Amino acid sequence: MAKRSLSQLDVDGKTVLVRVDFNVPIEQGVEFIANYDHRLRATLPTIEYLLERRCKVVLCSHLGRPRGKVDETLRLAPVGERLATLLGRPVAPLDDCVGPGVAAAVTAMSPGDVCLLENLRFHAGEESDDEQFASQLAGLADCFVMDAFAVAHRAHASTVGVPRLLPTAMGLLTQREVESLGVALENPVRPLAALMGGAKVSDKILVLENLLTRLDHLFIGGGMAVTFLAAQGKSVGASSVETDRLDFARDVIARAGAAGVAVHLPQDLVVSNAFDPNPEAVDTVPVDAVPDGWYVMDIGRDAASDYNAALARCGTILWNGPMGVFEMEQFSIGTRQVANGIAGLAEATTVVGGGSTAEAVESLGLMDRMTHVSTGGGASLEFLEGRVLPGIDAIPDA
């Protein structure tokens, strides 16, 4: 059912609390925030919409896992500095997210001002959906906008507690996420393809269960491919195999065949003699020639070319998971090749799942060439699994 959109919420001249997701990889250093600011840029349309309506904009987010305690390395002020640059106006960082000092600072704001509350997870009440903590957050504003799709699968105070207390709507980012993923699932331009990668089959079981009968093509890469190949009796050297998922992989292949879904597995692989960024030996071998004791690290160039040729004939592509060990430079080639191929499909609808897939696309400078790049890793997976997301469910129906 359709949820209340931002245009359906009376925000003119009001103080608006906006749940955003500014959980950027700050462990790489604040100087690198600009390299991974997709989540900041993605919420700019909502912030600008509110500023045009002379709102006081109060942003709230978590950062990392401080486990209910103040962690000096996880303060949001550096993220606010980057946001101010992107927004072209000051963003006032507050030293807490609740309390008299915060309430006074928000009251003192003028229409058109923006502030950023301190890390929500410095308070244990955030993750426990504590009623009092939610009430303190809600007391800062007249209404609430949920624009943090990436945490919509979490039942926290700022995602489900505040909507119980304030007039609430989806932000423009959340609306786009729900609509883009929803259309890809329910009304895709055919043929519909799912490109699945990442480390484990177990991470994608529910997605495959929900998608399989809807698909025309299923492409498998990454560590998932290792288990699927092992399920077909291929030797995969020293690579990790999810032995408890071999029957599931065989069942997926059988059910896909019965449903007329084409399953694509790599026909060549990049292997190394050690699971290391700089192993002594690296080779590309046919899928049935992985040396004993070696590790599958990436799909081969021929496999990537085959995937791109088949994907070019598809109308809608759902991509979740890298094709290899992307974080190791020399084993990122398969992901790069496929990403560039997908980015070149001007006529296709290309929906990229969040998490490591979005980071890969962002690092390759291909964000603007995809139809939609989700900001939510776990949230997009659960959406594709067909599950109800608490942070979306808490928004009133339109």
Cis peptide bond N-terminal to 191, omega within 30: yes
Q: Are residues 35 and 154 in the same domain?
A: yes
State the catalytic residue, choosing from 19, 39, 121, 336. Answer: 39
pTM, entire model: 0.90
**Same domain flag for 193 and 310:** yes
Catalytic annotation, pick one of 99, 139, 341, 378: 378
CB atoms under 10 Å from CB of 187, counted, come to: 8
Please indicate, yes or no, if residue 391 is contained in any of the structural domains: no
Pair 195, 309 in one domain: yes
Is 39 a residue of the active site?
yes
- Domain co-membership, 201 together with 159: no
- The last residue of one of the domains, among 122, 143, 172, is 172
Residue 380 has pLDDT above 70, yes or no: yes
Residue 317 or residue 1, greater confidence: 317
pLDDT category of residue 35 using cuts at 50, 70 and 90: confident
Active site residue 355: yes
pLDDT digits (tens, 9 = 90+) for 282-306: 999 999 999 999 999 999 999 999 9
Q: What is the DSSP string of 88-135?
A: TS--EEPS-SSSHHHHHHHHTPPTT-EEE---GGGSHHHHTT-HHHHH
Quick one: 162 and 184 in the same domain?
Answer: no
238 and 325 inside one domain: yes
| Integer Cα distance of 391 and 170 in angstroms | 10
Is 378 a residue of the active site? yes
Residue 247 belongs to domain with CATH number = 3.40.50.1260
Assess whether 14 carries a catalytic annotation: no
Q: Which domain holds residue 131?
A: 6-172
Out of 136, 154, 172, pick the residue that ends a domain.
Answer: 172
Whether residue 334 is predicted with pLDDT greater than 70 in this model: the reply is yes
Average pLDDT over residues 328-355: 94
pLDDT bucket at 27, cuts 50 / 70 / 90: confident
Token couple for 201: 């089959």
**Domains in the chain: how many in total?**
2
The continuous run of DSSP H or E covering 19 comes out as strand 15-19
Catalytic residue among 161, 222, 353, 355: 355
Catalytic, out of 4, 14, 53, 200 = 200
Mean pLDDT, rounded, for 91-114: 98
pLDDT classification of 227: cutoffs 50, 70, 90: very high
Q: Which of 121, 114, 123, 72 is nearest to 91 (CA)?
A: 114
The confidence score (pLDDT) of residue 246 equals 97
Q: Residue 359 has what pLDDT?
A: 86
